[in-house]
Amino acid sequence: MVKQKKTMSSEDCLGWAARDASGHLSPYKFNRRAVEDDDVYVKITHCGICYADIAWTRNKFGDSKYPVVPGHEIAGIVSKVGSNVKRFNVGDHVGVGTYVNSCRDCEYCEDGLEHQCSKGVFTFNGVDSDGTITKGGYSNFIVVHERYCFKIPKSYPLASAAPLLCAGITVYSPMIRYKMNEQPGKSLGVIGLGGLGHMAVKFGKAFGLNVTVFSTSISKKDEALNLLGADNFVISSDQGQMKGLTKTLDFIIDTASGDHPYDPYMALLKTFGILVAVGAGTEIKFSPRSLFFGLRSISGSIVGGTKDIQDMIDLCVEKEIYPKIEVIPIEYANEAIERVIKSDVKYRFVIDIENSLK
């Protein structure tokens, strides 16, 4: 990563941070780096709450670098730009997602797959090129290289844009990779109906797919069919319903965060069918026979590269695709996180940073 010359002085930033593995968030002041030649200074207006925020504020992976300022579904307004910035102007609406740096020189960066770069830097709890620990979007502004910013048309609400930067791109990217957007009439199964799952349903319908939602909760049937427009709803524990769908699906996107058996879902795939795991379970177990018979494939995916992110935002604007959100003040963040753990949100909390973080 090439060092840049500083063009503007740094300043204090106000955020909310966790100080230990309890994950409890409270006000925290820290210093953002100076705006450099290729940087954009973004006044944050909204930040979505993602399960990753819980994982790192509570040290689930054993690598949390306290104090942790979480948040990587960031939307806001450009307040300053460095002298070399070409893509953005003051006043533009922009988003910042799960990463804020990469080497910009490897094969992955050259192919627009910056999220696969071995030197990629997470938006929070990452170690940046200057050795500082990155701080996320539960804060009133962020400074980031223009490459990792995404233009949001002013016609699209910033509160709705925030969840696209993680939940949206996490399901959109594999759908594009496997050309689901080019195969209207094909069948898609979506496991789980949370922040990621409901976006998979929305994209699936936008692509003309026949969408079946799998859930453990019958209470989500009306939401899936009538609110989100899914074509079918199945209780995954109902063996009769599951067996009746044997070899009927072309694709499955698994957004479930808990561990569960995979063989029952693999059996639903047609020959050459593909299951993509994007949830946050601790393990994946299935019999090799589930792959051999039916020539099926299983794949993993996480967020997406810069091209996919901008393309996704543009699609959401064009097709008027909006996440279902609950906007909250920053003071409600701790309670909201407890509700996320209990799956008590439809379907993404978004913090109103601009009006509540003072």
Helical axes 167-177 vs 195-206, angle rounded to 10°:
40
pLDDT of residue 114: 96
Lowest mean per-residue pLDDT among 1-5, 58-62, 234-238, 290-294: 1-5
pLDDT of residue 130: 87
> Sign of the CA dihedral 22, 23, 27, 28?
positive
As a whole number of angstroms, the distance between CA 255 and CA 171 comes to 8
When pLDDT is cut at 50, 70 and 90, the band that residue 6 belongs to is very low
For residue 187 the two structure tokens come to 């069948």
When pLDDT is cut at 50, 70 and 90, the band that residue 4 belongs to is very low
Helical axes 167-177 vs 306-319, angle rounded to 10°:
100
The long-range contacts involving 326-335, CB below 8 angstroms and separated by at least 24 positions, are 326/350, 327/46, 327/159, 327/351, 327/352, 328/352, 329/355, 329/356, 330/16, 330/138, 330/356, 330/357, 331/356, 333/16, 333/25, 333/49, 333/138, 334/24, 334/25
Query: What backbone torsions phi and psi does residue 221 show, to the nearest 5 degrees?
Result: -65, -50
Q: Inform me whether the pLDDT recorded for 123 exceeds 80.
A: yes
Cis peptide upstream of residue 138 (ω within 30 degrees of 0): no
Closest to 123 (Cα-Cα) out of 72, 57, 188: 72
Closest to 120 (Cα-Cα) out of 112, 70, 35, 77: 112
When pLDDT is cut at 50, 70 and 90, the band that residue 9 belongs to is low
- pLDDT 10s digits, 276-311: 999 877 888 888 898 898 899 999 999 999 999 999
Cross-strand partners of 213: 190, 233
258 exposed, middle or buried (CB, 10 Å; 0-12, 13-18, 19+)? exposed
pLDDT of residue 284: 85
- Higher-pLDDT residue of 159 and 289 is 159
C-alpha dist (Å) from residue 31 to 111, 216, 248, 307, 355: 33, 45, 54, 30, 21
Q: What is the mean pLDDT of residues 343-347?
A: 90
Supply the pTM of this predicted model.
Answer: 0.93
Q: What is the mean pLDDT of residues 59-88?
A: 97
- pLDDT 10s digits, 247-282: 999 999 999 988 888 999 999 999 999 999 998 778
Tokens 């006000």 correspond to what residue?
Answer: 27
Query: What backbone torsions phi and psi does residue 337 show, to the nearest 5 degrees?
Result: -65, -40
Query: What backbone torsions phi and psi does residue 277 show, to the nearest 5 degrees?
Result: -95, 120
When pLDDT is cut at 50, 70 and 90, the band that residue 343 belongs to is confident
As a whole number of angstroms, the distance between CA 10 and CA 36 comes to 10
Query: What backbone torsions phi and psi does residue 192 show, to the nearest 5 degrees?
Result: 95, 145
Closest to 294 (Cα-Cα) out of 254, 260, 250: 250
pLDDT of residue 5: 46
Task: Identify the helix (H) or strand (E) that includes residue 326.
Answer: strand 325-328
203 exposed, middle or buried (CB, 10 Å; 0-12, 13-18, 19+)? buried
As a whole number of angstroms, the distance between CA 273 and CA 14 comes to 48
Closest to 57 (Cα-Cα) out of 352, 341, 342, 346: 341
Closest to 302 (Cα-Cα) out of 51, 79, 66: 51
